[in-house]
Amino acid sequence: GEDVEQSLFLSVREGDSSVINCTYTDSSSTYLYWYKQEPGAGLQLLTYIFSNMDMKQDQRLTVLLNKKDKHLSLRIADTQTGDSAIYFCAAKSTTSGTYKYIFGTGTRLKVLA
């Protein structure tokens, strides 16, 4: 079945860049997303990329998509302590004619001061 995988933890120093990686299995996924979840909070959409794009930049965030390898990454430049959170990769599944999201396990980013 469809699946999305991520590494579980990432620790970086404040000011460094963070790169969070994700792989997915559904080659027909049209949209891929990055969500941020802070402790006790809901899912906040950070950014998304359409499957015909290779890269998308939005301020400190850069998303890279390698459709051949089904690999997605999120780079956060100049990481701040406020970026500490769980980051979820999600793929929009188009099987069965409906449009559910398949989420990864989430990557817990810890930013060290």
Partner 1 sequence: EPEVTQTPSHQVTQMGQEVILRCVPISNHLYFYWYRQILGQKVEFLVSFYNNEISEKSEIFDDQFSVERPDGSNFTLKIRSTKLEDSAMYFCASSDGAYSYEQYFGPGTRLTVT
Write out the residues near partner 1 by the rule CB under 8 A. 31, 33, 35, 41-43, 45, 48, 50, 88, 90, 92, 96-106
Q: Is 74 exposed, middle or buried (0-12, 13-18, 19+ CB in 10 A)?
A: buried
- Residue 17 Cβ vs partner 1, minimum distance, rounded to whole Å: 26
In the bound state with partner 1, the residue whose beta carbon lies nearer, of 82 and 97, is 97
- Residue 92 Cβ vs partner 1, minimum distance, rounded to whole Å: 8
In the bound state with partner 1, the residue whose beta carbon lies nearer, of 21 and 105, is 105
3-state helix, strand, coil in the chain (%, to 5): 5, 55, 40
How far apart are the C-alpha atoms of 103 and 5, rounded to whole Å? 8
In the bound state with partner 1, the residue whose beta carbon lies nearer, of 80 and 95, is 95
